[in-house]
Chains A and B, each alone.
Chain A
Amino acid sequence: MTRPRSFAALSLLLTLTAGACSVSVENGDDASDGLEDPGDCIAVDMAVSPEKLDLLTDLANTFNDSDEAEVDGDCIFVRVQRKSSGEGANLVADDWPDPDVNGPKPVIWSPASSAWGAVVNQRKADAGEDPVAPAGKPFMLTPLVIAMPEPMATALGYPDTPVGFADILRLANDPAGWGAFGHPEWGPFRLGKTNPNFSTSALHATVAQYYAAAGKTTDLTLEDLNRPEVLDFARGVESAVVHYGDITNTFLNNLYRADARGTALTYVSAVAIEEKSIIDYNRGNPDGILDPGEKPKKPRTPLVAVYPKEGTLFSDNPFIILDSNWVSAKEKEAAAKFDAFVREPENQKRVLEFGFRPGNPSVAIDDPINKSNGLDPSQPQTTLEVPEPEVLVGLIEKWGETRKAARVMLVIDVSGSMGDPGDESTGETKLDLAKRAAINALDQFKPEDEVGLRIFSTEISGSEPTDYVDVVDFGPISSNREILASRIRDLVPTQGTPLYTVTEASYRDMEADFDPARINAVVILSDGRNEDDRNRDLDGLIQFLRGQNEGQSSQPVRVFPIAFGGDADLGTLQRIAEATNAAAYDAVDPTTIEKVFIAVVSNF
């Protein structure tokens, strides 16, 4: 079957997004475990995007206990599971396969944006099938804003001077950086961006970026995307990017830690995120999730929301009652009851408590959307038009071409334990799984990215350095993809795990050849604890990494560790990541390594 190009690209988008499924340590896995038994009630299963899981679980519990949870004498039991918007779209489009793995088939699907419903229906239409995602009413809203540390926004004239995406992006292109605004001590303008293949806010931010580049606020076309000046502008903006990421929480967590050390202003200058995230950050809860016992502490330097003067886009959180063949008429009726329940004014006030704007116009915007949280309830004044689906696909393709190039050292643990079983159902070892995932992930780099391969294990080499070997020298992935794949394929497990030594050495080597035009990073995959009697100085390593990453003149190399298998030292790897303002990734279940590798590479 020949598929239209746009469908192929959308499929790729969906596949990548499904692959991401929020595997960084900071966000946790998609959750469907622990769902309660609905008993004899009509079960209304919901799949919701992660940021509203707590809110909807709370509302579902209230509803289930209320008199309203009834249809024709039968009780209704709403169950909520977390599913990232992209993965949810993929699953709905594929008729929700394998409920044992993916969770129960939902009656209601609530992604972050209605755009995901349109994507699903387009995919169905391309397959000659009826649409399954009718337009759902917004349940709650949050606009995309430019989050900036308050002193930086003030330097730009905030709040009196309107600031737009175009201003921010011009600043990102200015070689004088913050020096142009009298603050050379803040260094260059550093932009935080996530990967539009993965997150709704990133997709919206990329739309806004291209509108600014094209000098438009409506009717962005494919022709616009191909104009040389638009592409030059886009490349300039991308050059200011610190690193990409699968989720904005990575930036906010890193910024929060940097703030605690008094170095927030040299980590990131601006990041496009949802308004709600600023409330969470300023409350001292940067990822919006409070673990048991965690006490929020407000940051020293709060963030403020700059509402782009050109307009912005909304995450509208629709309640989509699916027309899929597994949804019965009675379940639809029950779902409609819950839909009506969450729109009641009393429940829409709960929406506000969680930092969202109510979808019911009878409830006024109120606290905590206020100036003390860095927000302005009288903004934004206008919107940017959501481009046509084919333009959205084109945007993602262009982003892939113009994004900042990377220089990445892949560092793979080949210690003896990597020969342990990884997937008992196939008999593959952990190393087998890691090799396949690493080889597949090579396709996610763009041709200009430079990638090298280092392997490590104690006494792996007869000469100095004895604990690691550079198997493939750095080179553009376009020319060394095959040799990288070949060398990875040949790896065999050997001795112990000199984690600290190889981390520091890799960092130093990357720093020595630092390329300011690229994202410089180390991806280190390890399945165990440091097993090196000659180097047990973790605190020294952390101090070294942190010292190299701070200060406006630093040459920051980001270290993205992957904790692979049940014996991996996740806590230590997290400390290593945090010391370099990066993120650690959790592949404690070895069979998840493919998803994890794709998520890690989304940082580049």
Chain B
Amino acid sequence: MKTVGAIVAAVVMVVAAVLIRADIDDARNTDGNARLVCATELEEACSQLDDAVGELDVTVEAAGETAERLVALPDSEVDDPGIDGWLVPGPWPQIVDILRGQQQSQPVFEESPTTLARSPLVIVMRKDRGRVLEQGPCAGAVAWPCLGDVAGDEWDELGGEASWGSVKVAHTDPTTSATGLLVLAQAASEFFGGPGYSRAELQTDEFLAWLERLEDSGAPAASPFEEMLSKFPTAVYDAAGASEAEAGPVLAEAAPDRRDAFTLLYPEPVTTADVVLALTTSDDRDEDIADLAAGGRARQELAETGWRVDGQDLAEGVRKRIQLPAGTGLPTDAGVFIALQDSWRQVTG
């Protein structure tokens, strides 16, 4: 009886080993194509890239999803993490490697990824609401500190119309969305008067109370500015953070009544979302992905979909006269972004 049991166990183990090996092979680059993962914000550009470039497998998913998977990757699989490159607004690749470092794991990405394109961070604003804020509580230009102060207030108490309800401000989820995290960093930079704030400052009562007020006014949405436009004239949100690349072209194509009702605000100082192509440290990496970083095709597709690329024409809806700073204007330490996510989780429960 023992012998039979041992044989059965051996067969099970062999079958299991074969199945596991098959899974691993499935995950590996078996068709010879370079594997590019794109953040959701870059879906349109990546889709065009996929059509234009042969031998490229493109996956589009939220930055937080990719990050979660890569942070959990065992060191034994760093040699083949399932991707060759990640096209995403920074500093997500650095976030992944910081989090891996905290758990004593090896980095997944090469240092200093190539920046391919940039876009200023904007506030998509209902014009009529914006005018009320400029003339009242914001006393001039509408910016994040003021938006956080008035978030949740009734519009008729601020000089607006009762039918507008309360002030609702939104952005995408900063724990999953690349843009959402950058918008939150922009808001915090404005709150602290610059990008040099520390992780400890993100835990002060004053900041957390302000952030909680801001977040309570409008739940994180998958794409708040698109929702604002599609549900117009209803103000699902009165203001939403986004990148110009996402909002500008959509607003430019919108029906005239919507174009007239919304505006893009560029808070001063200008801050940017910078799209990087992060290459994995894997020895098996398909070098076509490095060519993608060096070549012009990816840049061209990004430019056509609203991102700013040196030497490329601006897409419709991208403003010519906006000067971008040398850096992003946001914190340079990716660890601060992780701390920002923690503060956000704290106030939103």
Least Cβ–Cβ distance between A249 and chain B, in angstroms: 25
Alpha-carbon separation in the docked complex, A380 to B232 (Å): 9
**Which residue of chain A lies nearest to B163 when distances are taken between CB atoms in the complex?**
A381
Partner-A contacts on B (CB < 8 A): 152, 161-166, 216-217, 219, 222-223, 226-227, 229-236, 250, 253-258
Q: 8 Å CB contacts to B: which residues of A21-38? A: none
In the bound complex, do residue A379 and residue B235 qualify as a contact, i.e. CB atoms below 8 Å apart?
no
Binds B, one of A149-157, A262-270, A354-362: A354-362
Determine the distance from Cα of A385 to Cα of B167 in the docked complex, in whole angstroms: 12
B231 and A314 contacting across the interface, CB-CB below 8 Å: yes
Q: How far is the CB of A474 from chain B (nearest CB, A)?
A: 47
A358 CA to B222 CA, complexed, in Å: 19
Is there contact, CB below 8 Å, between A381 and B257?
A: no
Say how far B282's CB is from chain A's closest CB, in angstroms: 24
Q: Are B256 and A364 in contact (CB under 8 A)?
A: yes
Residue contact B166 to A383, C-beta cutoff 8 Å: no
Task: Name the one of A358, A359, A361 contacting B250, with C-beta atoms under 8 angstroms.
Answer: A361
Q: Are A309 and B236 in contact (CB under 8 A)?
A: no
Interchain CB contact under 8 A, A361 and B226: yes
Min distance, Cβ B70 to any Cβ of chain A, angstroms: 18
A363 CB-CB contact with B under 8 Å: yes
Find out whether the CB atom of A309 lies under 8 angstroms from the CB atom of B230.
no
Is A299 close to B, CB under 8 A?
no
CB distance from B276 to the nearest CB of A (A): 26
- State the CA gap A217–B165 with chains docked (Å): 8
List chain B residues, Cβ under 8 A from A385: 219
User: Is B165 a contact of A314 with CB atoms below 8 Å?
Assistant: no
Give the residues in chain B near A362, CB-CB below 8 Å.
253-255
Tell me whether A196 is interfacial, beta carbon within 8 Å.
Answer: no
Question: Chain A interface (Cβ within 8 Å of chain B)?
Answer: 135, 137-138, 141, 143, 162, 217-219, 309-312, 314, 358-365, 377-383, 385
Bound CA span A311–B234, Å: 9
Cβ contact within 8 Å between B219 and A382:
no
With A361-B232, A364-B255: A382-B226 Cβ-Cβ less than 8 Å:
no
Report the separation of the CA atoms of residues A138 and B222 in the bound assembly, to the nearest whole angstrom. Answer: 11
Are B162 and A309 interface neighbours, CB within 8 A?
yes
Q: A332–B235 Cα gap in the complex (Å)?
A: 33
Q: Are A378 and B230 in contact (CB under 8 A)?
A: no
Q: Would you list 27 pairs from A and B whose C-beta atoms are within 8 A, ordered by A residue?
A: A137-B226, A138-B227, A138-B231, A141-B230, A143-B234, A162-B163, A217-B165, A217-B166, A218-B152, A309-B162, A309-B163, A310-B165, A311-B165, A314-B231, A314-B234, A360-B230, A361-B232, A364-B256, A364-B257, A364-B258, A379-B233, A381-B161, A381-B164, A381-B234, A382-B163, A382-B164, A382-B235
Closest residue on chain A to residue B222 by CB atoms:
A135
Is there an interface contact between A383 and B164, defined as CB atoms closer than 8 Å?
A: no
Task: Given A381-B233, A383-B231, A383-B236, answer yes or no on A361-B255 (Cβ-Cβ < 8 Å).
Answer: yes
Residues of chain B with a CB closer than 8 A to A361's CB: 226, 229-230, 232, 250, 253-255, 258
CA distance A502 to B217 in the complex (A): 58
Q: Nearest A residue to B221 by beta-carbon distance? A: A135
**Closest A-B pairs by Cβ, 4 of them:** A364-B255, A382-B165, A361-B229, A381-B163
Least Cβ–Cβ distance between B92 and chain A, in angstroms: 20
Give the distance to chain A from B172, nearest Cβ to Cβ, in Å.
11
Which residues of A are found within 8 Å of B166, using beta-carbon distances? 217-218
Return the contact of B234 from the options A217, A218, A219, A380 (Cβ within 8 A).
Answer: A380
CA A576 to CA B140, docked complex, whole Å: 67
Residues of A within 8 A of B222 (CB): 135
For B47, the closest partner residue in chain A by CB is A336
Q: A162-B163, A385-B219 are in contact. Are A377 and B233 (CB under 8 A)?
A: yes
| Residue of chain A at shortest CB distance from B255 | A364
> Chain A residue with minimal CB distance to B223?
A137
| Closest-CB distance, A346 to chain B (whole angstroms) | 14
- What chain A residues lie within 8 Å of B164 (beta carbons)? 381-382
Bound-state CA distance A311–B218 (Å) is 14
B-side contacts of A359, CB under 8 Å: 230
List 13 additional contacts besides A364-B256, A379-B234; criterion CB under 8 Å.
A138-B230, A138-B231, A143-B234, A309-B162, A314-B234, A359-B230, A361-B226, A361-B232, A362-B254, A365-B257, A378-B233, A381-B161, A382-B163
Q: Which residue of A lies closest to B262 (CB)?
A: A361
Nearest chain A CB to B101 CB, angstrom units: 29
A133 → chain B closest CB, angstroms: 13
Q: Closest chain B residue to A140 by CB distance?
A: B230
Chain B residues, CB < 8 A from A162: 162-163
The chain B residue with its CB closest to the CB of A219 is B216
Which of B232, B234, B236, B250 counts the most chain A CB atoms within 10 A? B234
- Closest chain-B Cβ to A576's Cβ sits at a distance in Å of 42
Which B residues touch A363, using CB under 8 A?
255
Q: Which partner residue on chain A sits nearest B236 by CB separation?
A: A383
Chain B min CB distance to A320 (Å) = 12
Interchain nearest-CB distance for B156 vs A (Å): 11
Residues on B with beta carbons closer than 8 Å to the beta carbon of A360: 230
Nearest chain B CB to A547's CB is how many angstroms away? 44
Assembly CA distance A380 to B161 (angstroms):
13
Complex Cα gap A202–B229 (Å):
26
Closest to A136 in B: B222
* B256 contacts across to A, CB distance below 8 A: 364
Residue of A nearest to B234 (CB): A380
Q: How far is the CA of A137 from the CA of B250 in the complex (A)?
A: 14
Nearest CB of chain A from residue B256's CB, rounded to whole Å: 7
User: In the bound complex, how far is the Cα of B234 from the Cα of A314, in angstroms?
Assistant: 10
A141 touching B231, Cβ below 8 Å: yes
A383 cross-chain contacts in B, Cβ below 8 A: 165, 231, 234-236
A358 to B163 alpha-carbon distance, docked (Å): 23
Closest CB in chain B relative to A317 CB, distance in Å: 11
B237 (CB) vs chain A CBs: closest residue: A383
User: Which residues from A are CB-within-8-Å of B234?
Assistant: 143, 312, 314, 379-383
CB distance from B225 to the nearest CB of A (A): 10
Instruction: For the complex, give the distance between the alpha carbons of A364 and B230 in Å.
Output: 10
Which B residues are CB-close (under 8 A) to A314?
A: 231, 234
A138 to B257, CA, bound (A): 19
Q: Across the interface, which residues of B come within 8 angstroms of A219, CB to CB? A: 216
Residues on A with beta carbons closer than 8 Å to the beta carbon of B217: 218
> Who on chain B is nearest to A336 by CB?
B47
Give the distance in Å from the alpha carbon of A137 to the alpha carbon of B219 in the complex: 17
Given the complex, which residues of A lie within 8 Å of B231, measured CB to CB? 138, 141, 314, 383
Residue of B nearest to A217 (CB): B165
Using Cβ atoms and an 8 Å threshold, which residues of chain B touch A311? 165
Closest to B254 in A: A361
Chain A nearest CB, measured from B228 CB (Å): 9
B225 to A, closest residue via Cβ: A361
Closest to A141 in B: B231
Q: How far in angstroms is the closest Cβ of chain B from A220? A: 13
CB B50 to nearest CB in A, in angstroms, measures 11
Bound-complex Cα distance A378 to B217 (A): 23
Between A312, A362, A385, the greatest number of chain B beta carbons within 10 A of the residue's beta carbon is seen for A362
CA distance A382 to B168 in the complex (A): 10
Q: In the complex, what distance in Å separates the CA atom of A496 from the CA atom of B257?
A: 67
A371 to B95, CA, bound (A): 53
Alpha-carbon distance between A219 and B256 when the two chains are bound, in angstroms: 34
Complex CA–CA separation, A362 to B166 (angstroms): 27
In the complex, A379 Cα to B234 Cα: how many Å?
7
Cβ contact of B165, chosen from A365, A378, A381, cutoff 8 A: A381
Would you give the shortest CB distance from A313 to chain B, in whole angstroms?
10
- Expressed in whole angstroms, the Cα–Cα distance for A309 and B255 within the complex equals 25
Chain B residues positioned under 8 Å from A377 (CB to CB): 233
Residue numbers in B under 8 Å from A137 (CB-CB): 223, 226
Residue of B nearest to A218 (CB): B166
Residues from chain B with a CB closer than 8 A to the CB of A141 are: 230-231
A360 to B253, CA, bound (A): 10
Contacts of B230 in A (CB 8 A): 138, 141, 358-361
Give min CB distance, B100 to chain A, whole Å.
24
Q: Which residue of B lies closest to A311 (CB)?
A: B165
